[in-house]
Amino acid sequence: MGTALAVEADLRLTVEGHPVEISGSGTHLTVATSSLRGAIAVLRSLGTLSELVEPVGTRFVAADLSADVEVRGIVIARIGPHVEPNALSRALGVAPARVWPGAVLRSLGRELRA
């Protein structure tokens, strides 16, 4: 495994009109948006899902980093060295990340009620 990396982050961005916050300390990052549309906008701005996630995932694993993707406070996906992709993440083309379908549905429910 590669050398462990420590990250300090506290960023606030706007991507296609959607606020995005990236925070982290040590070996864990959180990418937070207020909507699923915001999460999709972030991914679109960085390229296709497989173009983004596969190289980033490989680098995260090599550097012993992990990251959560949150929508409205609900972790919908995680990527990192001890994360196993599931059928949904493979179908979405985001392996080696793991996507939790129940969490996606809960965040969608919160978004629809907002």
* Structural domain span for residue 37: 7-113
The number of distinct structural domains making up the chain is: 1
- pLDDT tens per residue across span 51-67: 555 666 667 667 788 88
Residue 102 belongs to a domain? yes
CA atoms within 13 A on the CB side of 3: 3
pLDDT, one tens digit per residue, over 64-78 is 888 888 999 999 988
Rounded to two decimals, what is the model's pTM? Answer: 0.77
Q: Is residue 85 part of a domain?
A: yes
Domain-embedded: residue 15: yes
Report yes or no on 1 lying in a domain: no
> What residues form DSSP beta bridges with 66?
28
Are 42 and 76 in contact by the 8 Å Cβ rule? The answer is no
Q: Report the candidate in 46, 47, 38 with the shortest Cα–Cα distance to residue 107.
A: 38
The DSSP code sequence of 26-55 is ETEEEEEESSHHHHHHHHHHH--HHHHHHH
